Amino acid sequence: MRKGGYDPAWAIFLAAVCSQTYEQYNNKEGQFVVPLGYRTAFTVDATSFDRKRERFGFILESDRDIVVAFRGTSSTADWVSDALAYQIRYPYRDKAGQTHQGFTHIYRSARARIVSALTSLPPDKPVYVAGHSLGGALAVLCALDLATLDSRRLLAAYTFGAPRTGDPGFARAFNAAVRKSFRIANPYDAVAQLPPFILRMPGSKKTYYYSHVRGAVVLPFQNGSPAANHLIGSYFAALAARDPAYAERLEADNPGFCPVRRTGKNRG
pLDDT at 267: 42
pLDDT averaged over 10-residue windows placed end to end, the chain, 268 residues: 79 98 92 96 86 90 97 63 78 95 94 95 95 97 96 90 97 96 96 91 84 97 91 96 96 94 45
pLDDT at 2: 58
Question: Can you tell me the distance from the alpha carbon of 232 to that of 236, in angstroms, rounded to the nearest whole number?
Answer: 6
Q: Has this prediction a pTM greater than 0.85? A: yes
For residues 184 and 160, is the Cβ–Cβ distance under 8 A? yes
> What residues contact residue 86 under an 8 Å CB cut-off, 6+ apart?
100, 101, 201, 206, 208
Instruction: Give me the sign of the Cα torsion angle 76, 54, 126, 239.
Output: negative
CATH of domain 8-253: 3.40.50.1820
pLDDT at 126: 95
Q: Tell me the sheet residues that pair with 218.
A: 185
Burial of 199 (0-12, 13-18, 19+ CB in 10 A): middle
